[in-house]
Amino acid sequence: MPRVYDSRKRILVTGGAGFLGSHLIDRLLAHGHEVICCDNLFTGTKRNIEHLHGNPAFEFLRHDVTFPLYVEVDEIYNLACPASPIHYQHDPVQTTKTSVHGAINMLGLAKRVGSKVLQASTSEVYGDPAIHPQTEQYWGNVNPIGPRSCYDEGKRCAETLFFDYWRQNRLRIKVARIFNTYGPRMHPNDGRVVSNFIVQALTGEPITIFGEGQQTRSFCFVADMVRGLHQLMDTADEFTGPMNLGNPREFTILELAERVISLTASSSKLVFLPLPEDDPRQRQPDIGLATSEMGWSPEVDLDDGLLSTISYFKERLQ
């Protein structure tokens, strides 16, 4: 049974030393909760949480979610999984295990202690979408045997497990489909387009664009994303999702590169490379459900978010 006491909760965040997880922990602590950060530090880093050491409401646990975890908590945010192609393709079998075994272990923990559990899923469940923008009702267009499949299908299977636990055990679940998120604490070598472009621009290296740069993405600043995740966890138990969380403003990759060059006053030149296999041509969330269900929409403009991220990388690269 869930523990019953005041509004202060004990919350587990897996992947909590990562880019997104560390920002979520900051928000949860600011709202007066106790947080256990679980991370095996494969892609996460102690740098992202070093400012929290000494905080009596914060605890770091080095642990791999592919193994069971035994703690007493009221809520679980399951964010553990490499999220960039460079990292998740480095060990694709482990990536799938993290998504699938990690989901099973966190669902089992939630079942044992009666907690609510949120799965950080991804827009990649839509694959290379045949509809635009993508709504939660769309089943996706995913290659099950390609180089991105370890992540795409791993997250799809995790969603399956969450909804089967909900149907079979009436577990209190939430599923968020996260679209491209960026901001301070991104890994400088994660291969994601925002961090790639900013690091290349700041170091004067050529900015590498795959294909002709006409593929589109929608970029959500990290503060907006963690606010959305927090609000989703706090929705009524009857609401499960899945729910798209992202910024519906759509930009081509070429437009992003030009903005980064302008904001950094960089002399970097554009270099065009072959498009990777299964790279989605379009990515834009329909956030109508998030807006109607909890009044959520992004607030941070792309230029403002990029300036904040550029400032972070300038300090990192010194």
Exposure class string for 109-147: b at 16+ Cβ within 10 A, else e: bbeebebbbbbbbbbbbbbbbeeebbebebebebeeeee
Task: Tally the C-alpha atoms within 13 A of residue 89's C-alpha that lie toward its C-beta.
Answer: 13
Q: Is 88 a catalytic residue?
A: no
Going from the C-alpha of 149 to that of each of 103, 108, 156, 230, the distances in angstroms are 17, 25, 10, 28
**Pairwise CA distance, residues 179 & 68, whole Å:** 28
95 Cβ contact partners less than 8 Å away, ≥ 6 residues apart: 81, 82, 88, 89, 150, 151, 154
**Strand positions, DSSP E, the chain:** 10-14, 34-39, 58-62, 75-78, 116-122, 173-178, 181-182, 207-210, 216-218, 220-221, 243-245, 250-252, 270-273
Q: Which of 77, 88, 126, 151 is catalytic?
A: 151
Catalytically annotated residues: 151
